[in-house]
C-alpha cells in the first residue's frame, strides 16, 4: 500500500475558530466568558454533535449554529437574546470573512513536512464559497496543492461525491489517498464511502475505540506518515523527514 495524497479538512485541522472574537461579541452584549473557556468547551461540543442522526439531518451551515450554541452551553453560558444577537453578528462575519481564522502554530511546519515527504496536499472542506480567499488570507495557499470548497462544488461532506470531485481535480487515486478530518460522521464516513482511508484529528482524545487511526495534531500526522504508518512513500527514505 502506498501513500501519495492527503486530503485535509480546513476547519478543525488547518484552522480553528477565533474565540477571542466570539468572547468580544458576547462581552459587548453583557455576557462575560473568557476565550480560553470557550476553547476548552469546543472539543466536547463538537463531539456531542458528531452523531449520525445529527449529521444526516442537517446541512453544514445549520450545524455551525448548533455548534456555537453547544460551545456556549458547555462553557456555562445560558442561551439568551444577547447570545443569539452575538451569534447573528458572528454569522455575518463568517459569511464574509470566515471565523475559523486562528492557525495553530504547528500547522505551517507540519504542512511543509508533509510536502517534503512527497505528498500531494488537497484541502477538501465544507465551506461557504470563500475558502480559497480565506486560505490565502491566512498565508497557507503556497503550502497546499488544491483547494475544494463544498459551496463552490455544490455538494458537501459526508456525500462521497465531494471526495470524488477532489480525486478527479487533483489527479489522485483513492487507493493511495488518505483523508484527514475532525468529524467522524462527516470526514471518516464520507471518505470511506468514496473508497478512501481516513484519519481522525482528535485533539482532546474524546474518540476512544473509534475504528480509524487518530492523531492529536498535524505534527503527529507528519511523523507517523514519515514512519510509513499510512502507506509507503514515493520519496527515498534518505530524503524523508520526521515532521517533529
What's the CA gap between 99 and 78, in Å, rounded?
A: 22
Hey, what's the cell of 1?
A: 500500500
Region 33-49 average pLDDT: 98
Counting every residue, how long is the chain? 244
Kindly report the pTM of this predicted structure: 0.94
CB 140 within 8 A of CB 107: yes
Give the pairing type, strands 214-215 and 197-201: parallel
CATH class of 5-14+102-239: alpha beta
In the chain, where are the structural domains located?
5-14+102-239, 19-96
| The predicted structure's pLDDT at residue 85 | 98
What's the CA gap between 139 and 37, in Å, rounded?
A: 27
Q: Which of 86, 64, 85, 74 is nearest to 39 (CA)?
A: 74
**CA-based torsion, 199, 235, 132, 41: positive or negative:** positive
pLDDT tens digits for range 149-202: 999 999 999 999 999 999 999 999 999 999 999 999 999 999 999 999 999 999
Average pLDDT, the chain: 95
pLDDT tens digits for range 95-142: 999 999 999 999 999 999 999 999 999 999 999 999 999 999 999 999
Amino acid at each position: 500500500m502506498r501513500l501519495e495524497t492527503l486530503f485535509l479538512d480546513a476547519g478543525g485541522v488547518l484552522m480553528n475558530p477565533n474565540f477571542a472574537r466570539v468572547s468580544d461579541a458576547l462581552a459587548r452584549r453583557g455576557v462575560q466568558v473568557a476565550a480560553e473557556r470557550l476553547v476548552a468547551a469546543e472539543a466536547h461540543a463538537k463531539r456531542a454533535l458528531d452523531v449520525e442522526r445529527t449529521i444526516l439531518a442537517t446541512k453544514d451551515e445549520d450545524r455551525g449554529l448548533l455548534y456555537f450554541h453547544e460551545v456556549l452551553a458547555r462553557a456555562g453560558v445560558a442561551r439568551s437574546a444577547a447570545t443569539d444577537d452575538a451569534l447573528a453578528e458572528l454569522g455575518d462575519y463568517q459569511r464574509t470573512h470566515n471565523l475559523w481564522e486562528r492557525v495553530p502554530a504547528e500547522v505551517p511546519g507540519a504542512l511543509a513536512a508533509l510536502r517534503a515527504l512527497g505528498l500531494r496536499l488537497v484541502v477538501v472542506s465544507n465551506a461557504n464559497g470563500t475558502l480559497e480567499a480565506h486560505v490565502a488570507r491566512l498565508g497557507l495557499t503556497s503550502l497546499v496543492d488544491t483547494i475544494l470548497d463544498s459551496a463552490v462544488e455544490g455538494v458537501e461532506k459526508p456525500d462521497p461525491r465531494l471526495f470524488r470531485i477532489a480525486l478527479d481535480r487533483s489527479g489522485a487515486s483513492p487507493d493511495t489517498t488518505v483523508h484527514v478530518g475532525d468529524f467522524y460522521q462527516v470526514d471518516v464516513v464520507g471518505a470511506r464511502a468514496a473508497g478512501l482511508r481516513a484519519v481522525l484529528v482528535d485533539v482532546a482524545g474524546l474518540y476512544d475505540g473509534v475504528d480509524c487511526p487518530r492523531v492529536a495534531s498535524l505534527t503527529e500526522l507528519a511523523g507517523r506518515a514519515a514512519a510509513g504508518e499510512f502507506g509507503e512513500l514515493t520519496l527515498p527514505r534518505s530524503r524523508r523527514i520526521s515532521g517533529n
